[in-house]
A and B are shown apart, each in its own frame.
Chain A
């Protein structure tokens, strides 16, 4: 199946700083990628749809100025959590569709102190 990578896998930062998470499709091109957030023992919550060459589409209740998304190329989307606070601590997962199905990255665990 298609492979999606994420970097970093785990990041700890101080409150008020910004953190960038990368999502890459390794063996296929993705004009669309999705960003999810997952709290412990809860399901995936779609945050936004990243579109190559155009603005991201954010789900209701997700602050676009706080969660900046840039789909720089057909294989790379980045999520920047700006001015992070402890409540932003979560597991962030990206995915990209390829042929049959949608393929997820391994996730990035963000801890904001």
Chain B
């Protein structure tokens, strides 16, 4: 079983839709949770960072962590064509020398 599972999609939504991206994980020691956005032929860009359980909101993006279910989500409100990219979740336990575990990424296309 992989440490982090993420549906690769592809996911296609109309402009203005609410997008829900999800990852599950198996290691209960994970404490730090991140979402990255990667445009084609570019390096991943850190979007959201969350510590432990709870919600975090930044503009149109909301990250949720449910440690009891080992499930994290990224919601994108009022999606725009410029949101079309691959979204990767990442997580790490504390005190591991910066070892991060990544999902495979979900490809999102927002159709104008």
Contacts and interface: CB of A to CB of B under 8 A. Distances in A.
A43 B88 CA distance: 8
Interface stretch (A11-19, A66-74, A80-88, A99-107): A99-107
A109 B44 contact: no
Interface in A29-71: 32, 34, 41-44, 46, 49
User: Is chain A's binding surface mostly helix, strand, loop or mixed?
Assistant: strand
Interface string A86-113: 0000010101010011111111010000
A43 B105 contact: yes
Contacts of A105: 43
Interface string B83-112: 000001010000001111011110100000
Contacts of A4: 43
B27 to A, nearest CB: 16
A44 B102 contact: yes
Given A41-B107, A43-B88, A101-B34, A106 B43 contact: yes
B46 A103 contact: yes
Contact of A104 (B41, B43, B98): B43
Nearest to A10: B41
B45 A97 contact: no
B43 A97 contact: no
A29 to B, nearest CB: 13
B98 A93 contact: no
Contacts of B103: 43
B98 A102 contact: yes
B44 A44 contact: yes
B36 interface: yes
Interface of B: 8, 32, 34, 36, 41-46, 49, 88, 90, 97-100, 102-105, 107
Interface of A: 1, 4, 6, 32, 34, 41-44, 46, 49, 91, 93, 95, 97, 100-107, 109
13 contacts: A1-B46, A43-B8, A43-B88, A43-B103, A43-B104, A44-B44, A100-B49, A102-B46, A102-B90, A102-B98, A104-B36, A104-B46, A106-B42
